[in-house]
Amino acid sequence: MESFEKPLREREIETEKIAERFGDSLTVFGETESVREHLKHLEKLPSELIRVMREKGLKVMVGEGNIIDMMSNIPGIKAFVLRLVEKFLAKEREVETSIGGWQRTEKRRTPIPLGVYAAALRIVFVGGHTKREYQAISSSLVLHEYGHGLGHLLKLDGSKTLREAHLRLYPKLISYLQQGKAGGFAGKKELLAESFAGYIDLSKEQFISRYDEQLYSFWEETIANIEDYSEL
């Protein structure tokens, strides 16, 4: 967290640098620690990758509030749309509880996620958080959601290589990446997003320890040849 202690002007210069690379595809709300952490992770993205994704219309919004608050800043978005989105994200689930030896089932709403990629809008939304809230799932929340945008816009979600990786790595993956079954679409998409975040944020040794060398090579080749995806 050393960068969070830098003088204000130095932080402003860093923000200006990342703003130059992302242009109008990046919107930032606030200057909290979590916002600065998101920007620090986005700074690690290769410039050529940012350029290609900008051409495909991918936008990133990071802020200190929740993602519904950020969505409300999109020009033209209607209040009823926000209510529908909030209802969809904060889904009801059944929870078994025990009181005085009696078992009962009650419905509870899951909290609004800290981040989401809205495919219909081509926007990555990432809100305020403490690192503890997501570190059990992701090495970088904003890079994970950016990875979902990559999977969608570069048509990697249907990749045979990713399916094979999910099948191969399934036993060692955390439960969040095991959604569905081995090789299933949901789990494969989460593996794509999280392994992308890891490729950008972790050392090669850390990545291979968490996944394997084959998946590392997949991302290495994909990023090295990112220009080939600009015509998709």
pLDDT of residue 1 exceeding 50: no
For residue 121, is pLDDT > 80?
yes
Rounded percentage of the chain residues whose pLDDT exceeds 70: 72
pLDDT value for 14: 57
CATH number, position 98: 3.40.390.10
- Average pLDDT (140-146) is 94
Q: What's the pLDDT score for residue 84?
A: 59
Distances (CA, A) of 184 to 144, 145, 188, 215, 232: 19, 19, 6, 17, 24
Q: What is the pLDDT of residue 170?
A: 97
Domains: count for the chain: 1
* 189/192 Cα distance (integer angstroms): 5
pLDDT digits (tens, 9 = 90+) for 171-204: 999 988 999 899 999 999 999 999 999 999 999 9
Q: What is the pTM of this model?
A: 0.81
Q: What is the pLDDT of residue 2?
A: 34
Expressed as residue numbers, the domain containing 44 is: 2-229
In the chain, the percentage of residues whose pLDDT exceeds 90 is 50
- pLDDT higher than 90, residue 100: no
pLDDT, mean over the chain: 81
Q: What is the pLDDT of residue 232?
A: 65
Mean pLDDT of 5-20: 56
Query: What local confidence, expressed as pLDDT, does residue 90 receive?
Result: 59
Alpha carbon 65 to chain centroid, angstroms:
16
